[in-house]
Amino acid sequence: MWCPTPLRDSSRRCLAVIVGALCLATAAHAQPRGPETRAVDARLAELSPADEAFLQAYKYAAQNQADKFDGVDDKVTNDHPLRSYIDYWALRLKIGDPRGESSPAGLEARIREFLQRHAGSAVADSLRRDWLLALARRGEWSTFALEYPQLQSKDDTQLQCYDWLGRTQQGQPLADPVREALFQPRDLGEGCGQLLELLAANGTIKRADLQRRLWLSVEANAPGSIRRLAGLLNFDPAHTEQALMRPEKAPLAKFDRELRVIAIARMARNDVGFAAGRLEALQADLPAAERAFAWSQVAAAGMRKLSPEAMSWTRLGLPAVVSDETLVWFARTALREQDWKLLRQVIERMSPRGRADPTWVYWEARALRAAGDTRRADDLLRRIAGEYHFYGTLAAEDLGGLFSAPPRATPPTEAELAVPAANPGFARALKFYALGLRPEGNREWNFQLRAMDDRQLLAAAEWACRKVILDRCVNTADRTSTEHDFSLRFITPFQEQLTPVAKERGLDSAWVYGLIRQESRFLMDARSSVGASGLMQIMPSTARWIAKKLGVADFRVEQLGDMPTNLSFGTYYLKSVLDDLEGSPLLASAAYNAGPNRPRTWRSTLPQPVEGAIFAEIIPFTETRDYVKKVLANATIYSALFSGEPQSLKARLGTVSPRPQSASELP
């Protein structure tokens, strides 16, 4: 049983999880009928002929097999909840290969009819996006200009660039947002690349701008964009390829100086020490600006590898004109060394957007405190102290308050709950989930949330919990801005299974819940791209090791879909890494995500003891850094909900001291 309310409030309604069915009010003593995977398997085993045809059509559409698609699409009946997707895929296949259509005008008429019939839906927005991309590639700018404003999800940078490309070709001046989008440290992509080429050709963008964009591409390690910029700057194509693909063997003395810098930067990502040596040998031949930029890339790579020379390289790279992409690595270098003056200097150079990130708001405040400027530090901390994330929690604690959950918003009324229940987009999402197509279901679900206010979000979250769509329950409740219900954000399913096994292992159940919330969002059938399975996302090789340790005979990987097995194996491994790392939840969380040897390596590179928050921020893997911060913030919140008492995140983080490198015996 689980209760989407703090456990201490026994007067609040509990919802019993009956997997594959609705959560039923007042069923306080009901038991789950079985793991969610069994319910999903049962549903898939009872597919209707229309569902089977739909899944076949889905496969053929994804593989662009138009001939096979045409053989099954008619088997999906018109009353099927996802019939609109069959019609969408049929049109998408025609857009991708219009030769099968009798005339372009006929295809356009079919597209417009579909868009009108399904106006305001996720599937219509998907078709419009596909059509816009095809229009841009064919240069049909008049039609593009009519359709682009009607696109509801304008989060595709390439479509934005195509929009600006069409406007530029019609003589409109370059707007500031266009320039800002072009000059970001990321791959240009085809749309933005074509726009940049046009602006270079008509003289709007000068050679100095192109050189600046080249360095942004180097910072982002985007070889496609580097090649495009190198072509616009008239570099030797063969030398460009050598700098990108074989930098350690490239005859740098023969290259343009920009290509030397590119080669050094690419080299540094594989062997930073070798790159530093090459740079030292040729730096006298580089102008000061390019020399500093080259050192900045060596320094960033050095910090990603936690090299002891990262600080000296950072000081050489400090004069460089670089983006936040590089400055955050400078800041982490300063954090590792606890050089608060340098940290403040680096943060002050970040863009307004970068400096406003809660991470750097918090650390700038800490740097100000170290300098004795408590007033300004506290002003910064107050900006984020009311936000429910890792740095918001730390900021509140630095201001003297431990974490307590906010007051619970008034629960949704039955009238409010009737709205998501009647939403056809949510119905489509549930059908996708029933067919095992979770990404497609999530796309439908999230499309419905775009314009919802807090009350509507809370109603949708509660309805998702009642439908046992636990990840959508959590993610939807997470979106509220002023009215919050932490019983929905931080649900506690499977208590009767999880609490005893956590206690048996000697684990804090709040930490286990915090980890599962991040690993799987409580989806029993969650499966990662690398094969991790179930609630606690256990890898097959790790599961086999655990099975041997626990004496489980004839173990099969498929058993990870069984909730008791998954919880038993996952908590056993979590306790193993906790013991292996001297009882540190911080290091153990990192080990659970990145393997037990990596936290040992990272710890061995520390020049001095650091507080846990510093160690979390200097983790060189982006995924693990984000994971650790979220797991421990989750655990703090769950602990407050379970105990009814304010909780300290800093106490969970502890401190981390350097220790000699040693290998773990754990997998």
List the catalytic residues.
519
Nearest to 95 by CA among 108, 82, 85, 109: 108
The four Cα atoms 139, 142, 144, 149 give a dihedral, to 10 degrees, of 150
Q: Which two tokens stand for residue 547?
A: 């099975």
Cα-Cα-Cα-Cα dihedral sign, residues 95, 100, 105, 109: negative
- CA dist 311 and 307 (Å) reads 9
Tell me the DSSP string of 299-365: HHHHHHTT-TTHHHHHHHHTTS---HHHHHHHHHHHHHHT-HHHHHHHHHTS-HHHHHSHHHHHHHH
Which residue type occupies 449?
A: L
Tell me the DSSP string of 607-654: SS-EEHHHHHHH-S-HHHHHHHHHHHHHHHHHHHHHHSS-B-HHHHH-
- CA dist 179 and 304 (Å) reads 30
Whole-number CA gyration radius for the chain = 28
Name the one residue in this structure whose structure tokens are 């507080």: 611
Phi-psi region of 436 (alpha: psi -120 to 50; beta: other; left: phi over 0): left
For the chain, how long is the longest CA-to-CA vector?
Answer: 78
**By the 8 A CB rule, do 158 and 192 touch?**
yes
- CA dist 429 and 123 (Å) reads 12
- CA dist 391 and 407 (Å) reads 20
Residue 538 DSSP SS3:
strand
Nearest to 318 by CA among 334, 330, 302: 330
